[in-house]
Amino acid sequence: MSTSALQTNTHERQGLPALALGAIGVVFGDIGTSPLYTLRECLKAAGGVSLTNVYGIVSLILWAIVVVVTLKYVAFVMRADNHGEGGILALTALASDVAPVRLRRVLLTLGVFGAAMFYGDSMITPAISVISAVEGVTLVDPHLSEWIVPIALVILTALFRLQKRGTAAVGKVFGPVMLIWFVTLAVIGVTNIASHPDIIRAVSPVFALKFVGHAPATAFIVLGSVFLALTGGEALYADMGHFGKRPIRLSWLLLVFPALVLNYFGQAALVLSKPSVISQPFFESVPSWALIPLVVLAALATVIASQAVISGAFSMTKQAVQLGLLPRIPIVHTSSREIGQVYVPFINLTLYVAVVFLVVFFRSSDNLAAAYGIAVASTMLLTTLLMYFVTHCLWRWKPIATIAVIGPMALVDALFVSSNANKVIEGGWFPLLAGAALFTVMTTWHKGREMVVQQIKKDSLELAPLIKSLTTGNHPVMRTQGTAVFPGGVNGMTPTAFLHNLKHNGVMHRINIFMAGSTDNIPHVSDEDRVSVKDLGNGCYAVSVRHGFMEIPNVPVILKLLEERIPDWNYDPGDVSFFLGRDTIVATGKSHIMSLWRERLFAFLARNAAQAAEYYSLPPNRVVELGGQVNL
């Protein structure tokens, strides 16, 4: 059975209502908290409250959500699942499989850059979401403004400290809380629309076009703030594998989309009736008795939105490690039943430091909004470009049809990217700088690994001829009892650890298993297809192991699979020794592929990568590490 079929069956067993509730709690947190600040920032960029501004802006917000989220992501991009999984890296793997060979490296570069921008977005979302919710306390007492940053830091610190406990327990309350949040958005919106029902006319795109035609330069700047209403759109695609397409689509169309639109139109009606509320139209939308409960609910919603982005960064990291874009990083599984729930301590600490810096440096959601958007807008544009290869090469659309669909989407995305470009100086430099640093790390590691493999192939001996000479020659090597396993090798080549063991100990084990792993461009590989065994004779076996990009290698589990493939052998943990090569990377500056500083960066990353024994889930007391040196 295929992975996508397995996921479909799993989703069916969980039930559509449960999946839809889970999607409401996880998928829509980011876009669901955008009403806290979007209309306020749009009106600020437009120069204040006027009939033309309010009608035009709320119409722009509506149609931006319709075009980008509903039509592009919900109706179109979500069709491009990689065996049930979504997200920029999953899409890159899917597009690379079907694109012309000469373009695959280009597509990989696009995907890596999009992933790097996603990390930049992961840093800003918790900061702007939580601080915008806390700012509601100033309406209770203006003197509390001095406490906004400390309160936000306390909430964020608690959030990041809880990450190591996993999302399983907390996730049970995500759906109900966000359900209450979206119902509240809708009720607030309807209540305020009643005060100025004429605002419903802004549903017509004519008002958006009039606003753009009246002041094109101003409208272009406002688009950068309108984009704040779309910042969670990529999550609909990225979280597809957790819930399936149908629950996400139904939740969006039946609840989230209507609630968001009603709330934006309600805020627009309110500022027309009371222009003085422009500084906090969301919190001013309720009577004074409901303000404190709304602030508390908003704080909970923003924590959930932040949690979803943080969890997405963990999942993205796991994919990047498996695809060879990042060095081995300790990854902790926080659930024995849900393999997708992981915790990455290094990423958690990095995000926390970045978020604290953003809160302390920018100090308000107004200032953070100036930095928000450019990173995720870039990711959306790259998603559209990758979709071109999926539609043209995989779905076999005719060129005219492909251009007719992809062209307008790319134009809209490019418009949002360019309208956000003016934010670079105002704060957008931070996510771009963080993204550029991550892009450099990811491309350096990927290229460095390719160089190491080529160097190993150049310097090492072919495995099959060597085994034959050692076991059938005039002076065969002495054999000892037990099984020796050599994980992490290069297919067809002799592991350095094996040569060092021969050199220092002068013996071979009775059974020798040489493992060479590869990562496929699919999320999961079935057990039936995971391993292939080549008998080299005399108790030696070359094993090719396949993993999906959502999987972490587990050598003991693989050895259990090999019991059926290797005659007269059973996996006994107490009878197996694992031999690992611990290569030291030396930057020589002689490479024509990478500059010396990138070679040194790669060597630094290699030195600080997680231990191979931990990565492969090996028992520490059965591991032998033998050092070597690789000159780049």
Angstrom distance (rounded) from CA 532 to CA 529: 8
Domain end (from 383, 410, 429)? 429
Q: How far apart are CA 137 and CA 296, in angstroms?
A: 10
Q: How far is residue 399's CA from residue 391's CA, in Å, rounded to a whole number?
A: 9
Q: Which of 64, 118, 348 is nearest to 234 (CA)?
A: 118
Residue ending a domain, among 379, 413, 429, is 429
Residue 8 placed within a domain = no
Q: How much is the pLDDT for 475?
A: 72
420 and 494 fall within a common domain: no
Whether 338 and 464 share a structural domain: no
Boundary residue ending a domain (376, 411, 429): 429
Predicted pLDDT of residue 350: 92
Within-domain flag for 11: no
191's enclosing H/E stretch is helix 168-193
**pLDDT (0 to 100) of residue 2:** 43
Cα 523 from Cα 6, distance rounded (Å):
12
- Inside any domain, residue 448: no
Torsion of CA 169, 172, 173, 179, to 10 degrees: 160
Give domain status of residue 367, yes or no.
yes
User: How far from chain centre, in Å, is Cα 578?
Assistant: 33
Distance separating alpha carbons of residues 540 and 562, to the nearest angstrom: 13
Check which CATH number belongs to the domain holding 61 and give it: 1.20.1740
User: Amino acid letter at 479?
Assistant: R
Whether residues 406 and 486 fall in one domain: no
475 and 401 housed in the same domain: no
The helix/strand count (H/E) of the chain reads as 28, 8
In the block, tokens 């099984």 appear at: 483
Is the pTM higher than 0.75? The answer reads yes
Q: How far is CA 572 from the centre of its chain?
A: 38
Cα distances (Å, whole numbers) of residue 358 to 31, 268, 339, 365 = 20, 29, 32, 10
- How many structural domains are present in the chain? 2
Whether 387 is covered by a domain: the verdict is yes
Query: Is residue 600 domain-resident?
Result: yes
Same domain, 24 and 133: yes
Residue 113 lies in a domain: yes
Tell the burial category of 254 from Cβ atoms under 10 Å away from its Cβ (0-12, 13-18, 19+): exposed
**What's residue 10's pLDDT?**
46
Domain assignment of residue 441, yes or no? no
CA distance 139 to 529: 61
The DSSP H or E segment spanning 61 is helix 51-64
pLDDT averages per 10-residue partition of the chain, 632 residues = 45 68 84 93 92 95 96 93 85 88 88 88 87 87 87 91 67 81 96 93 95 93 94 83 86 95 96 92 92 92 84 83 87 60 85 93 86 87 94 92 95 94 86 90 92 83 88 78 90 88 86 91 87 91 90 90 88 90 81 86 88 86 82 76
Rounded to the nearest angstrom, the gap between the alpha carbon of residue 608 and the centroid of all alpha carbons in its chain is 23
478-489 and 342-343 strand pairing: unpaired
Q: 611: which DSSP letter?
A: P
Same domain, 98 and 137: yes
Question: Do 408 and 489 fall within a single domain?
Answer: no
Side-chain half-sphere exposure of 65, counting CA atoms within 13 A: 24
144 with 204, same domain: the answer is: yes
Indicate whether 206 and 252 sit together in one domain: yes
Same-domain check for residues 516 and 381:
no
Give the burial string for 288-316 (b: 16+ CB within 10 Å, else e).
Answer: eeebeebbebbbbbbbbbbbbbbbbbbbb
389 and 470 fall within a common domain: no
Instruction: Provide the CA 123 distance to its chain's centre, in angstroms.
Output: 12
Domain of residue 583, residue span: 460-631
Same domain, 408 and 513: no
- How many alpha carbons lie under 13 Å from residue 429 in its C-beta half-sphere? 4
Amino acid identity for residue 370 in this structure: A
Per-residue confidence (pLDDT) for residue 255, from 0 to 100 = 95
Least Cα distance to 19 among 213, 242, 312 occurs for 242
